[in-house]
Structure 1
């Protein structure tokens, strides 16, 4: 029996005439080494594998010659190479207590901003009541509502702010750990040092800005935002001290001015909370609502 060559593309068998061929005459596929049907070839000379088929079936042949190689054309801009890679999933890993606390930071910061704005609105309403009370007797109900709003916001806002501060420190620790791990190094500052610099009064006017600046050293778009946050944070601390000192005055005008000062402090505190959330989102490459930010990609047009 004469030797044949089998095409790897269409599985057609071609008899060997003279020297073995390389390409299939039918579909231009690669031909295997010559073999004799019915004879078992040793593994050392075999560059094919046996495929078992049902009796009576024939391999599917490709009809017509192969399509010529042409330059591809697209009806719209291709998206391959322009999409961002999918973020690595950490769902399978067990979360630490710090990571779980860091996830609560955006929610607590949003609640802090809302409560401080509510407190600012209550202080503004109280100031309007004071102005009105100079010429008109104010209803006890109006006074009760004003006092309730100011008292509720004055109690809840600091409590939620303290919780948001703890969660923000946890986020800062995780963000710094991730950033330094990305470059193959460990965070040069310990967790105790970061927590001490962020939570101790007076000291925390300086060190949080330093920690964030170190975190955003390779993020040009984040560093200006960190500077704005730092300036607002220091201004809020100074205004808080001034407001506490101002309460020692007993005159009616001083008390009225204290109401305005308390309103300004609440507004600045809400701004600090929003800026803190914005810095977090920018470092995590998210927008303010927590969605992935769409990047602007520029392409050179020929």
Structure 2
């Protein structure tokens, strides 16, 4: 320090005021009166080391430096030497990754066949209704030829067509009816399992008992209605439909027995009456097939054509006088 400055006390004060500390946060400058401070009085930031403002330091000569520290703990040094070998990996079960997946469980073929046959029941019932309708037409056509033959001769070609129609329907109708009956038994098994399962109950009747009640002659005039009524769940409309179907089913069985007994008569009039009886039986059988399909659709919650059934809600409307008064 020069001698003039040393002798002048004002110059010493100026020298002291020229040394400041800069705040690293707010950049405020605070004069150093004694020992350097550490925290900024304004923002409590960190104060840098004292700097002489009369002698600005170059950029490369700053009195602070940035230090970067990792937020993670220091990594310990790895042990030298070969790694230790652990136990051999093994699986307690088949792993779920890879190209080889376990085979799916083999389905129960018996249940699958029953379900497939149950799905075919509506189609077979529709075919039975068509075949029995054609049988009724064939029998009525033959009866018309009998009436026509009372006064005139019938052409051989027309008679051959009539015989072909009668024989074709008489052979195909029983086979289609038997297939529809077996499919209906399968549908009954599946429907009872589903409906009773929704109620939290188990079907007390075995599939064999259901098959015997539907397919055995004589017994099948009573038991199918009982089996179907157990699925109605108190629905009055479904119960009424089942009663109509049951009546047509019993009537069809009575007509089949009457046809078998009527064929024992050999007179021409009896044979002509037998043709009419066969036509009526075929019509009743066609109607029974349609009603059977309708009962199935009703229990499944659908209409006759297989569409979801719409529920009609009746609401009591006020009278016009009350509406006008309000």
Normalising by structure 2, what TM-score?
A: 0.62
Aligned counterpart in structure 2 of residue 296 of structure 1, from 312, 315, 322: 312
Correspondence for 1:204: 220
Secondary structure of the corresponding residue to residue 262 of structure 1: helix
Aligned CA distance change for structure 1 residues 301 and 230 (closer, same or farther; 3 Å): closer
What do residues 253-295 of structure 1 show as CA deviations (whole Å, max 9, x unaligned)? 0000000000000000001100000000111111111111122
Select 1:232's aligned residue among 241, 248, 259. 248
Matched, 1:185 2:221: no
Q: Which residue of structure 2 lines up, in the alignment, with residue 162 of structure 1?
A: 178
Judging changes above 3 Å, is the alpha-carbon distance between structure 1 residues 301 and 269 closer, same or farther for their aligned structure 2 residues?
closer
Bigger helix fraction: 2
Partner of 1:113: 129
1:232, 1:298 → 2: CA distance? 31
Q: For this pair of structures, how many residues does the alignment match?
A: 211
Deviating beyond 4 angstroms after TM superposition, the runs of 4 or more aligned structure 1 residues are 298-302
CA deviation after TM superposition for structure 1 residue 213, in Å: 0.8
Q: Which of 273, 287, 295 is the aligned partner of 1:271? A: 287
CA deviation digits over 1:30-80, x for unaligned, max 9? xxxxxxxxxxxxxxxxxxxxxxxxxxxxxxxxxxxxxxxxxxxxxxxxxxx
Instruction: Give how far 1:179 is off.
Output: 1.0
- Structure 1, unaligned runs of 5 or more: 2-92
Shift of 1:107: 0.5
The whole-number CA distance in structure 2 between the counterparts of 1:230 and 1:145 is: 35
Q: 1:235 and 1:132 mapped to 2: Cα distance? A: 31
1:69-124 deviations in Å (ceiling 9; x for gaps):
xxxxxxxxxxxxxxxxxxxxxxxx98711111000011000000000010000000
Q: Distance in 1 between matches of 2:303 and 2:198?
A: 22
Match of 2:168 in 1: 152
In the other structure, the counterpart of 1:66 is none
Segment drifting more, 245-254 vs 184-193: 184-193
Pairwise CA RMSD? 1.8
Aligned partner of 1:143 in structure 2 is 159
**What TM-score, normalized by structure 1, do the two folds share?**
0.67
Work out the CA distance in 1 between the residues paired with 2:285 and 2:146.
Answer: 24
Q: Which runs of 5+ in 2 are unaligned?
A: 1-24, 26-106, 319-326
Q: How does 1:43-122 map to 2 (within 5 A)?
A: 96-122=112-138
Specify the structure having the higher radius of gyration (Cα). Answer: 2
The structural deviation recorded for 1:234 is 0.5
- Superposition deviation, residue 215 in structure 1: 1.2
Q: How far apart, in 1, do the equivalents of 2:316 and 2:226 lie?
A: 38
Secondary structure of 1:186 counterpart: coil
Secondary structure at the aligned position of 2:310 is classed as coil
